[in-house]
A and B are shown apart, each in its own frame.
Chain A
Amino acid sequence: MNKPAVETKPNIEVCDGNKAVAHAVRLSRPDVVAVYPITPQSAVGEWLSRWNDEGTLNAEVVRVEGENSSMGVCCSASLTGGRVFTGTSSWGLLFMMDGLHYAAGYRIPVVMTNANRETPGIFTIGNSSQDMWSVRDAGWIQVNVEDNQEILDAVIMAYRIAEDTDILLPMMVCYDGFYLSYRKDPLEIPAQDDVDAFLAPLKQSKRNIVTPDDPMVFGIPSFFPKDQGEGCTEFRYKHSAALERVKDKIDTVDKDFEAIFGRSYAGQIEAYRTDDADIVLVATGSVCGTAKVVVDKMRDDGVKVGLIKVRLLRPFPKEKIAKVLEGKKGIGVIDRSVCFGYHCGHLYMELKSALALEGLPTTLPTLNFIGGLANLDITVEQVETTINLTLAASKGETVEEVTWLSLEE
C-alpha cells in the first residue's frame, strides 16, 4: 500500500473537545485524576484512563462510584499537595454541589472541566449553560470557552491560576457539551517541554499541606457562636478578595501563555470589533464563534456592531465589560440558560448588574435573547435577529426586553 502523499504537521491533531481536555490534563502532569462517566464528556475519563494504562500519563486514576466522590477524592488529594483533575457535566456537577463548596471554602486548587448541559427537571440530553450558571455562587473561578483549542489551552492555564499562591482557589473550565465536546477540529497539541516550562513557576507556590505528621483541623470549631462567626467572616472575606485577584491574574497568565505558545485569548473578556461599534452583542461559549461570523457579515453591510465574548464568569469581569460598553448605543445579550426569578438569562442579569455597579446610564437600551436550550441551534439567522432588534432599540424603537428565540408564540 502506498503512503499518502500529503503529510500533516506532527503537532496537529483532529480531535473533539473531550480529547482536547484529556490532552491538556496529560500535559499538565496531574498526580490524581478522579473519573466518573456522564454524557457528553465520558471520553475525558476514557482517554485519561487509557493513557495512564499505556504509560503516557503517570497519575493515580481513581474510578469512583459517583461525582460526589470525585470531588471528595480531588479535595483530599489536593490537600496532601497533589495536582488533581476531574471532569463532569450537568447531573454530575449538581451531585457534587457540597463538594464544590468544600473545595472553594477550603481554598483547594482543584481543576475541573464541565461540559455544559441541561439540568434535571426536564429530561434532555442536550447543551445549555444551565448547569454552569447554577453553581456560580460556590466560590469557584469559572471560565467558559469558545472552541476546542481554547479548551485545551484554558485547562493548562487553569493550573497556573488555581495553584498560584496569590489565588489558591478551585477552577472550573466550562465548554459547551455536544457543540464542542463532540465537535472535531484540527488542534495544535503543545509540546511537553513547553507546558513544563509554562507551569514551572508553580514550583515556587506555597500552600498548606496536610500530612500524618502534621494533622490539621479545617473549620472553626467553637462552642461560642461569636468566635465561629468572626472566623467565618474573615475566611469569607479573604476568599472573596482572592477571587477578585483572579481578574488581573488571568490577564497576566494569558500573556505568559502567549509568550510560549503564540496563542492569546485576551484574559477576562475578548472585545471583538467593538472599538468603533455603535451596538455590541455580549455572549459566552461556542455561540461566540457564530456571532463573530455574523458580526463580520453585518459589518460588510455597514452595521457598526461588535461582540464581547465573556470568558471569565466568576469573578465577573464587570469593570472590563463596562469599559468596552461605555458610550455605546445598544447592547444585546445572548443567553443559553434561564435565570429563574428574574425571567431572563443569567448573563443578562449579570450584565445589568455590572452596568449599574459601574455607573453606566440605566437608559442605555439593553436587550436579552434566550436561545439554544436543550441542544437547539443558535443559528446565523437568530444572531442576525439579535443584532437587528438591538439596532432598532438603539434608535429609540420599542422592543421587548427579553426575547425567547425558538419560542412559538
Chain B
Amino acid sequence: MREIRVHGRGGQGAVTAGDMIVIAAVMGGEFGSSFPLYGDARRGAPVVAFVAIDDQRIRLKTQVYTPDCLIVLDSRQKDWPETYKGVKSEGILVVNHTNTIEQQPHPNIIKAGAVDATQIAMEEIGIPAFNTCMLGAFAATTEWIELDSILGALEKTFSGEILKKNIKSAERGYKEVKGSSW
C-alpha cells in the first residue's frame, strides 16, 4: 500500500486532488481510498487529504501517519516541519514551487518534483486552480500512476471547456516538473 498526504488550504482543491488520484488508480486497475480532514469549512485554513492506493481493497479507515508521498499545494507549507511528520524513508515530495528544490527538505525525502503550478494554472485555466497541474507533476515524479489515468480522472470530474483547460494544465505539470534527488 502506498500512502499519500495532500497538504493545502481550503479552496485550493486538496480534497478534489485526493479524490482524483483514487479515480485514476481505479482506472489503472488498482484500488484506492481518500478522505479529508477538516472541521467547519473555511477558505484558507489548512486542509489535509489522506489517500491510499493498493492492489487490493483498502480496509484501513485511519488517517495517513506514514506517507510515502507528500503533495504540497501551498508552497509555504513545504517549510513547515509538521508537513513531514511521519514521512517514510525513500519519501517523495511533490510541491507547487517556482524553482527546483535544491536542498533536501527532510532526511527521509529522497526525491522531489517542483512545478510552478500556480503560474501554469493561471496561463491555462485563468484562475489559480492548480491542483490538476499538481496531479500531472505527481504522476511524473512518482511514476505510480499513468498520465492517461490522471487525464481519465479529469474526464470523470470535469466537462466541456473546463475539462480541456485542466487537461492542458495537468499535461504541462507532467512535462514541466523539475526533479531533484538525494
Residues of A bordering B, CB below 8 Å = 1-2, 4-8, 12, 14, 125-126, 147, 176, 178-180, 182-186, 286-287, 289-290, 292-293, 375, 377-380
Please determine whether B34 and A179 come into contact, CB atoms closer than 8 angstroms: no
Contact residues of A: prevailing secondary structure: loop
Q: Does B110 contact A (CB under 8 A)?
A: no
Complex: A62 Cα to B34 Cα, angstroms: 32
Partner of A6, one of B40, B65, B152, B167: B152
Contact residues of B: prevailing secondary structure: mixed
Please determine whether A184 and B34 come into contact, CB atoms closer than 8 angstroms: yes
Please determine whether B27 and A6 come into contact, CB atoms closer than 8 angstroms: yes
Residues of A within 8 A of B146 (CB): 5-6
Please determine whether A289 and B31 come into contact, CB atoms closer than 8 angstroms: no
Please determine whether A377 and B22 come into contact, CB atoms closer than 8 angstroms: no
Interface residues of B in 11-32 (CB under 8 A from A): 18-19, 22-23, 26-29, 31-32
Q: Does B118 contact A (CB under 8 A)?
A: no
> Which of B26, B32, B149 has the most chain A CB atoms closer than 10 A to its own CB?
B26
Partner of A125, one of B39, B65, B148: B39
Nearest 7 interchain pairs by C-beta? A4-B152, A183-B35, A289-B59, A4-B148, A286-B61, A186-B26, A289-B61
Residues of B bordering A, CB below 8 Å = 18-19, 22-23, 26-29, 31-37, 39-40, 57-63, 65, 146, 148-149, 151-152, 155-156, 164, 167
Residues of A within 8 A of B35 (CB): 178-179, 182-184
CB distance from B32 to the nearest CB of A (A): 7
Please determine whether A4 and B36 come into contact, CB atoms closer than 8 angstroms: no
Complex: A380 Cα to B28 Cα, angstroms: 28
Complex: A180 Cα to B58 Cα, angstroms: 13
Please determine whether B33 and A183 come into contact, CB atoms closer than 8 angstroms: yes
Please determine whether B33 and A1 come into contact, CB atoms closer than 8 angstroms: no
CB distance from A215 to the nearest CB of B (A): 47
Please determine whether A293 and B60 come into contact, CB atoms closer than 8 angstroms: yes
Partner of B61, one of A12, A126, A179: A179
Complex: A293 Cα to B61 Cα, angstroms: 10
Supposing A179-B35, A182-B35, A183-B33 touch, asked if A4 and B59 sit within 8 A by C-beta, the answer is no
Supposing A4-B155, A125-B39, A179-B35 touch, asked if A14 and B23 sit within 8 A by C-beta, the answer is yes
Complex: A126 Cα to B63 Cα, angstroms: 14
